[in-house]
């Protein structure tokens, strides 16, 4: 241990506050000037902490069977009866759905419909709820990316029922998903059966609000909200939620995804939607080759 003289040590302790303050302000400036820098550091830290989070979250998730509630363990038999009933009902619906799919396929075939490419997806467990005061995000563990970790950035994250968010940062074994409720989230959506365009904007509350719907046609209560391909960031037709009017009579979206207790997320990468972002030149459309079907990873 180095022994310092008392006056020197006093001077050092007096200097340490202004020096550290200046350094921190410098970091603020660096972070402002180069957002990639903080993203990079953040992704590195997330990767470092991901196994730690999983070590703790794993037992909790095992205890609750991925339902997000430990209390359900006490009502298993009632739940089983209810599920059996529901299962019988769903089997009837399955037949209806299969008939409709066959009809849909026949109609598509007669229209020479070009299907949109099947996306690649990977499934990840939600390890940590890393939202901030003004941000809503979760950390997802992903299988080690083969080669480029950045290929996950921009992937659409869905839980079993609907869109939960998008991947904003990805590291070697973890990805950060910005939820649709985040204040920076803006998603073009289509409302109802006729697909009226609107913008869904997060507000850090539980229900994102709806903006910029066409003035003559206010969104109908209970209308289905699907993603829209406008802007090219999202594929069309993914389920997001249902329109609802809040106490102030403003339209909001009740998300289908269970955003409070996300446990598993599927991350869909749509590589072929990227060219739609570029402006289309006004030339005669050529016959496009049939979109190649992507083999499903995982």
Partner 1 sequence: MVQGPALRRPLTLWRRLDTASRRAFPGFILVAGLIIIGMPFGLPNQAALRPVYAMACVYFWSLYRPASLPTPFVALCGLLLDLLGLSPLGLWAVILLLLQFTTIAARRRLAPAKFLVTWGAFTGFAVLAVALAWAGQSLLELHMLPLWPVAWQGLFAAGLYPVLARLLIRAHRGPAAVELA
Nearer to partner 1, 79 or 260 (CB): 260
Check: CB of residue 178 under 8 Å from CB of residue 136.
yes
Structure tokens at 34: 């180069």
CB of 142 to partner 1, least distance (A): 16
Among 4, 23, 98, 99, interactor with partner 1 by CB under 8 A: 23
Stretch that binds partner 1, among 56-64, 207-215, 228-236, 238-246 (CB under 8 A): 56-64
Among 4, 9, 11, 52, binds partner 1 (CB under 8 A): 52
When asked if residue 8 is in the footprint of partner 1 (CB under 8 A), the reply is no
Task: Report, in Å, the least distance between residue 225 CB and partner 1.
Answer: 22
Q: Would you mind telling me the total number of residues written for the chain in this entry? A: 298
Residue 57 CA to residue 117 CA, distance in Å, equals 35
**What is the rounded CA–CA span in Å between residue 129 and residue 139?**
6
- Spatial separation of the C-alpha atoms in residues 242 and 220, rounded to whole Å: 10
Please state the separation of Cα 69 from the chain's center in Å. Answer: 21
* Biggest distance spanned by C-alpha atoms of the chain: 90
224 belongs to the binding site for partner 1 (CB under 8 A):
no
Binding flag, residue 122, partner 1 (CB under 8 A): no
Judged by CB under 8 A, the chain residues 126 through 145 that form the site for partner 1 are 126-135, 137-139
Does residue 57 belong to the site contacting partner 1 (CB under 8 A)? yes
Contact 123, 163 (CB under 8 A): no
Residue with tokens 């359900």: 72
The span from the CA of 147 to the CA of 119, in Å, is 18
Least separation in angstroms between CB 81 and partner 1? 27
Query: Given the rule CB under 8 A, which residues bind partner 1?
Result: 16-17, 20-21, 23-32, 37-38, 41-42, 45, 49, 52-53, 56-57, 60, 68, 126-135, 137-139, 183, 203-204, 260-262
């Amino acid at each position: 241990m180095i022994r310092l003289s008392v006056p020197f040590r006093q001077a050092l302790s007096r200097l340490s506050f202004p020096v550290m303050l200046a350094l921190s302000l410098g970091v603020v400036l660096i972070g402002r000037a180069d957002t990639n820098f903080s993203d990079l550091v953040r992704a590195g830290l997330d990767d470092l902490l991901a196994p730690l989070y999983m070590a703790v979250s794993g037992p909790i998730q095992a205890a609750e069977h991925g339902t997000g509630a430990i209390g359900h363990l006490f009502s298993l038999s009632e739940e089983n009866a209810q599920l059996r009933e529901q299962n019988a009902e769903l089997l009837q619906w399955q037949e209806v759905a299969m008939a409709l799919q066959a009809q849909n396929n026949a109609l598509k075939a007669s229209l020479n419909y070009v299907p949109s490419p099947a996306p690649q997806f990977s499934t990840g467990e939600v390890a940590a709820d890393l939202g901030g005061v003004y941000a809503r995000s979760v950390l997802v563990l992903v299988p080690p990316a083969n080669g480029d970790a950045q290929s996950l950035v921009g992937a659409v994250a869905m839980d079993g029922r609907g869109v939960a968010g998008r991947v904003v940062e990805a590291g070697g074994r973890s990805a950060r998903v910005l939820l649709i409720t985040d204040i920076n989230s803006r998603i073009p959506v289509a409302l109802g059966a006729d697909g009226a365009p609107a913008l869904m904007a997060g507000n850090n509350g539980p229900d994102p609000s709806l903006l910029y719907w066409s003035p003559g046609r206010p969104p109908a209560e209970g209308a289905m909200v699907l993603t829209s391909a406008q802007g090219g960031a999202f594929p069309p037709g993914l389920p997001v939620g249902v329109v609802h009017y809040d106490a102030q009579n403003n339209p909001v979206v009740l998300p289908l995804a269970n955003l409070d207790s996300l446990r598993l997320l599927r991350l869909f990468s749509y590589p072929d939607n990227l060219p739609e972002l570029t402006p289309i030149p006004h030339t005669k459309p050529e016959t496009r080759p049939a979109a190649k079907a992507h083999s499903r990873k995982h």
